[in-house]
Amino acid sequence: MSYRDAIAIAARSVTRRLGRAVLTVLAVALAAALLSSLLIAGSAARTRVLDDVSRGGPLTGIRVDAAAPDPGSLDSDDPPTGRPRAIDDAARHRIAGLPDVRAVVPVVVTPIQVLRPTNLPAPKRTTTSRRRAGARRRAGTASGGSSLISDELIGVDLARTNDVPVALEAGRLPAPGSTTEVAVTDGFLARFGLSKADAPSLLGLHLQFGAPRFFDESGGATLRHSSLRARWTRMEIVGVAAQELSGGQFVVPIAVAQAARRWTLTGPSAAIFGGNASPYSALFVIASSLGHVGSVRAEITNVGFSTSAPETLIESVQHYVHVVEIVLAGIGLIGLVIAALGIANAMLAAVRERRREIGVLKAIGARDRDVRRIFLLEAATLGCIGGVIGTVAGWLTARALAGVVNGYLAKEGLAGVTLGVPTVILVGGVVGATAIALIAGTVPAQRAAQLPARQAMGDR
């Protein structure tokens, strides 16, 4: 019997039992859709989280402090710093030229006085509103009712927000060249008992910032006769952001922070505000990949600066993401196993129903392998059709889920997920479903092939 004859017999068998064939195809399609959608979603998540990290990004960032490394500290993610050491342009360019360094973003942090705002919105009523209102009252009590708030101004190149750990929660970040815009942080919300739900209501409010500076009024005899004054600037809140650059609560373009820092450090008591006259308070260095974070930290330490990076945290995230991938793949494979059992059951039923047909085929000269081939072709056809339908359905399902996820990410001010066309998963889904169908049809096909012609004919 030729393959052409076997294919024709298998196709005729499928069409004669169309209802059972449709149900079998649907079982395979559902399993293939489940597996392919889970794999596509897992692959997209890995691309968004880990592959972006491996190509370099904020999570591969290394904070370089304006201080020498502490020779007595243990190797850790956040070791204590040594003596102060200035970071100037020469040091920044030297670090930028190290191997496996993708980008270097300077950070300037300077002390600031803020006039306590009086027109803040009332917190929205939530289950924790009472607790936050208490925090708001305590904030006022802790400051002794002072009209001034002491905090830090964080200056960074806001044209490179993709390279720094700053995530927008409401509004927008200040324009890179603006001198009148500021973004406040979660710490500012917490200071006044506000929640993230209150963040949009802060947009458009104005704050008065004063760069502090001591003026010597004793001719250099003693600081007791120095007076503290501030150079005041009015800024508009244009956004609320979460940041991990410093403990400050106000993010501005780096030029604004540099101007305030220069004003403060030219006073006679600059030591009161930190004493380190470094042009940059810190550098945020982006390694070319996650695997190079450790080596870049070692090179920067050899240059003479203290570093910190969440290496342990990122490695833990990688492990957990891999575990999630294994779980998702396992769920999909369980679906395929269930579909394979369905195919095997359908094929065994077909063998029982077609014993006479098998007997006739053998009586006219069909060999065991010819009968086996017919049933395997039938199983492969059902698996292939189900695989094609299921894989395409899984891809469409993953795209629909990506649309929902991208809507959420856009609302949070984060970059969306790009699925593309995962050719390997699509082809693998069809081939895998066909292969599993062949495996599931092996036992029924073998049973049909070993059925004696006389027994098959005599049973009917």
Longest dimension (CA), the chain: 123
* φ, ψ for residue 228, nearest 5 deg: -95, 125
Which H or E run includes 150?
Answer: strand 148-156
Separation CA 460–CA 442 (nearest Å):
25
Q: Kindly report, residue by residue over 110-157, the tens digit of the pLDDT.
A: 889 898 888 777 766 555 555 555 555 555 544 445 678 888 999 999
By the 8 A CB rule, do 383 and 28 touch?
A: yes
Residue type, 433: A
- Helix H, strand E, coil C: the string for 350-362 is HHHHCHHHHHHHH
User: Looking at residue 230, what DSSP letter applies?
Assistant: E
Q: Kindly report, residue by residue over 313-356, the tens digit of the pLDDT.
A: 666 676 777 777 777 777 777 777 777 787 777 777 777 777 77
Which H or E run includes 137?
Answer: helix 129-142
Q: According to the model, what pLDDT value does residue 142 have? A: 46
Q: According to the model, what pLDDT value does residue 252 have? A: 94
Q: According to the model, what pLDDT value does residue 15 have? A: 76
Structure tokens at 286: 């982006």
Which H or E run includes 215?
Answer: strand 206-215
Low-confidence ranges of the chain (pLDDT < 50): 56, 141-144, 460
Structure tokens at 103: 């980008």
Q: According to the model, what pLDDT value does residue 52 have? A: 55
φ/ψ bin of 234: left (φ > 0), alpha (ψ from -120 to 50), beta (otherwise): beta
CA dihedral (432, 436, 437, 438) in degrees, to 10, reads 100
Residue type, 432: G
Q: According to the model, what pLDDT value does residue 141 have? A: 47
Bridge-based pairing of strands 250-253 and 282-287 is unpaired
Separation CA 89–CA 105 (nearest Å):
11
